[in-house]
Amino acid sequence: MTKLRNRRCGMTLIELIVAFTILLLISTMAVPLARSRVRKIKEHDLRAALAEMRTAIDKYKDAADSNKLGPQKQEGYGYPESLEALVNGVKAAGAAGADTKIKFLRRIPKDPMTNSFDWGLRSMQDDPGSNGWGGQNVFDVHTKSDLKAPDGTAYADW
């Protein structure tokens, strides 16, 4: 009787193969779904970071155009010289604003596509289709990633 009980305690080789096959099928279905979810989260974070920086650039431009900021370079067209200028702040115009700095960003967001704080920049003088930066001012920002979205557009064009 003990011999019969010992034979029934473990799994047979066929049962193990079937169990591992089922686990393999489930995992092969889960991995693409997980990758898709990670990509969607990165795309959402990219859109949010770009919107945050572009809003800050627009607020800087509005403040410069309404003479709320200190002296500006004429060739800058009222746009910030760098993204760091949005974080560090700019002196306010007028006698009351001599010691006051206006800040437009708390920090430069991390690029979720490249996982760095290095963003591609465009200035007012640059060609609209180029991804290079002339260094005069910051008119727009984009990711430096070469990847493309599922719809075929480059993330750098967002």
95-118 residue pLDDT tens? 565 678 888 999 999 999 999 999
% of residues, the chain, pLDDT over 90? 34
Residue 30 is part of which domain span?
A: 9-145
* Helical H segments across the chain, by residue range: 2-8, 13-65, 83-88
Q: Does residue 155 form part of some domain? A: no
With contact defined as beta carbons under 8 Å apart, do 70 and 99 qualify? no
Q: Does residue 150 form part of some domain? A: no
Number of domains making up the chain: 1
pLDDT band with cut points at 50, 70 and 90 for residue 3: low
Q: Does residue 1 form part of some domain? A: no
Reported as half-sphere exposure (CB side, CA atoms, 13 A), residue 129 has a value of: 0
State pLDDT tens for residues 13-60. 888 899 999 999 998 888 888 888 999 999 999 999 999 999 999 999
Exposed/middle/buried for residue 110 (C-beta within 10 Å: 0-12, 13-18, 19+): middle
Enter the DSSP assignment of 108.
P
Tell me: pLDDT of 4 over 60: no
Q: What is the spatial distance between Cα 15 and Cα 12, in angstroms, rounded to a whole number?
A: 5
Find the angle CA(101)-CA(54)-CA(44) to the nearest 5 degrees: 125
Tell me: pLDDT of 152 over 70: yes
Q: Does residue 151 form part of some domain? A: no
Q: Does residue 156 form part of some domain? A: no
Q: Does residue 154 form part of some domain? A: no
Q: Does residue 104 form part of some domain? A: yes
Predicted local confidence at residue 101, as pLDDT: 85
What's the CA dihedral at 72, 74, 76, 81 to 10 degrees?
Answer: -40
Q: Does residue 101 form part of some domain? A: yes
Predicted local confidence at residue 76, as pLDDT: 59
